[in-house]
Chains A and B, each alone.
Chain A
Amino acid sequence: MTVLTQERELLTAPDSPDDVNLVDRVVHATFDLSSYWSHVRQHHPVWFHPSVDGRRGFWVLSRHADVMAVYKDRSAWTSEQGNVLDALTLGGDSAGGKMLSLTDGQRHRQVRHILTRTFSISGLEALGRIIRGAAAQLIAERLEAGGGDFALHVAKQIPLQAICDILGVPLAERERIFTLTSSMVASEDPDQPFSQAWEAKNDVLLYFSLLAEERASGAGKDLVSHLVGPAGKNIGLSEEEVVFNCYSLILGGGETTRMAISGGILALLQHPEQWDAYVRGEIETGRLVEEILRWTSPSMHLARTATRDVTIHGQVIPKGDIVTVWNVSSNRDQRAFDDADQFNAARIDNPHTALGAGSHFCLGSHLARLEIAAVLEAFRDATGTFELAGQPRRIYSNFLGGINSLPLRMSPK
């Protein structure tokens, strides 16, 4: 296998934290921030990012141990004001307390409880067979065609179809929903106006508001019916909570995993010796999946609000301040990983933070791992050679990181 070209050379970012504006979505798509993060981890482990464009400033945590500590401490930090930069620095998330990921305490346990079964290993068994079949089918189509845009034709389809199957979104609606969800927290266009993201979000909320009403009998087998039916009624789940949680599931289920799948295939393309080892059966799919999650870290950061004064490395973070924890940095922290800057598909000790940790640990972790593994195995079993047929393209976002275009030439075994 030959590698024609590498991913577009990213510009090297300046070392000083003051020279990088983490709010700017174009920064994350344009610069290779690895030396910046290495510098920040070493010299500014608790750093205050100043206010930009009239938004509130926020604390930046970059070391693996500090990121994990925030995820695991339920008392010092809350998600109820919001859990991403944009919502928090613009004054708080209106879904606070009404969406699982933005709810803490007793209510969080109640809502998580009624969702857990669907996303458990046993709950996903039947869907897993469908996903593996779909992955084999989509890759066979690409091999038949001699290639295609892997991000669009494969990586996008698997998570989108799976989460839509779970929610019971009809087939005919899925392309439109995908178009909307892909511009809610990221964009293909660096100049996409703020209003477009708001409008996309509003149409998705409207869609699920109508779907929830349509499923009001609660008799269906899909997750929306489950939420509006007895399970939701037992805990007094409001219509607003149903809609906000559907929004969260379609975003979490559809957007992050496609970044991991595309980024994983690109990493194998750039490390042909590891691809060869995988094909020879020397690397377990499970290990490769974890390394892809670490390497791609599609959720670049998450954020919390301090519920009291918290001291980290001697620095006081006052009650009410916003703290951001950066998975893209913690997952490259040499304090936690051997050869952290190397992609190593056979990595054994891999405590990455790509799925978070603690009470808000990714609800869809089994589903994400299942989807990535299904694509990797179908790809391994059918593909002989593959190479880049054009430039991979990164999305513009300060939250979601990865590529949405991966043109490949592919030939079968």
Chain B
Amino acid sequence: MVLAYETPGSIQDQLHDHPDIKQVIVQEYDGSQVAFVHCEVPMKVSYLREVLQSADLVPDELYVVLDDTNLAQLRKDKLRSRADYVTPTSPTEEYLCALWGDLLNVDRVGVEDDFFRLGGYSMLAVLARRAIERDRGILLPAEVIFMNGKLRDLANIIDDSAAAQ
């Protein structure tokens, strides 16, 4: 495995032995350190974050890359699709950040992030609706999911619905 840096850094090379990770590219964007992990097989970002942490690499954002043929384009797309990270404050925002991160396999979801821009498609919206019903007791209409791609907006609606009940 190779660690490649586009910006100078001093991170130990301790990831040699991980068989499924082919390459990690770390790049700095507007002061944030972004890691692109090129894997042989699909892997959860939460797991990869632990692996990188063991090598003292703690990026601000982490992306899984499965096919490096269009890595450059992918990097541009990924970064464009992300809103500036805004930390969740309410319990509902924290809940949704964790839920989306898990469903979309995206690292560090913030309250300004948009479900669809992060790659949310119909079936993932179904899984989100089912999870929210299970955990929050509210079955959101499809329209609400479609019209409120931004996490903060959806969190507000869930809180308002809960308050109205």
Contacts and interface: CB of A to CB of B under 8 A. Distances in A.
Interface string A186-205: 00000000010011111101
Interface string B9-44: 000000000000000000000000000000000000
A200 B121 CA distance: 14
Interface in A205-248: 205-206, 209-210, 240, 243-244
Contacts of B127: 209
A202 B142 contact: yes
B121 A206 contact: no
B143 interface: yes
Given A195-B147, A206-B129, A94 B122 contact: yes
Interface in A114-130: none
Nearest to B125: A202
A198 B126 contact: no
A195 B143 CA distance: 8
B72 interface: no
Contacts of B164: none
Contacts of B142: 198-200, 202-203, 206
Interface in B130-163: 130, 141-143, 145-147
Contacts of B145: 202
A63 to B, nearest CB: 35
A205 B126 CA distance: 7
Interface in A82-114: 94-95
Contacts of A205: 122-123, 126
Contact of A209 (B130, B141, B143): B130
Interface of A is mostly: helix
Given A195-B143, A202-B142, A206-B142, A94 B121 contact: yes
Interface residues of A, number: 16
A373 to B, nearest CB: 35
Interface string A232-267: 000000001001100000000000000000000000
Nearest to A240: B123
A195 to B, nearest CB: 5
Contacts of B125: 202
Q: Chain B contact residues (Cβ within 8 angstroms of A): what range?
A: 10 to 19
Contacts of B122: 94-95, 198, 201-202, 205
Interface in A158-210: 195, 198-203, 205-206, 209-210
A240 B122 CA distance: 11
A253 B165 CA distance: 40
Contacts of A199: 141-143, 146
Nearest to B129: A206
A94 B123 CA distance: 8
B69 to A, nearest CB: 12
Contacts of B126: 202, 205-206, 209, 243
Contacts of A200: 142
A244 B126 CA distance: 12
B131 to A, nearest CB: 11
B103 to A, nearest CB: 12
Interface in B82-122: 121-122
- Which of A205, A210, A240 has most B Cβ within 10 Å? A205
Contacts of A195: 143, 146-147
Contacts of A201: 122
A243 B129 CA distance: 15
Nearest to B124: A94
Given A206-B129, A206-B130, A244 B146 contact: no
A213 to B, nearest CB: 9
Nearest to B139: A206
Interface string A308-324: 00000000000000000
A203 B142 CA distance: 7
Q: Which of B122, B129, B143, B147 counts the most A-chain CB atoms under 10 A from its CB?
A: B122
A202 B121 contact: no
A259 B141 CA distance: 30
A319 to B, nearest CB: 13
A240 B146 CA distance: 20
B143 A244 contact: no
Contacts of A240: 123
A206 B130 CA distance: 8
A94 B147 CA distance: 19
Contacts of A209: 126-127, 130
A94 B141 CA distance: 21
Nearest to B143: A199
A320 to B, nearest CB: 12
Nearest to B147: A195
A240 B125 CA distance: 12
Contacts of B143: 195, 199
Given A203-B142, A209-B130, A244 B123 contact: yes
A342 B12 CA distance: 77
Given A195-B143, A202-B125, A243-B126, 8 more contacts: A94-B123, A195-B147, A199-B141, A200-B142, A202-B122, A205-B126, A210-B130, A243-B123
Interface of B: 121-123, 125-127, 129-130, 141-143, 145-147
10 contacts: A195-B146, A199-B141, A199-B142, A202-B122, A202-B146, A203-B142, A205-B122, A206-B126, A209-B127, A210-B130
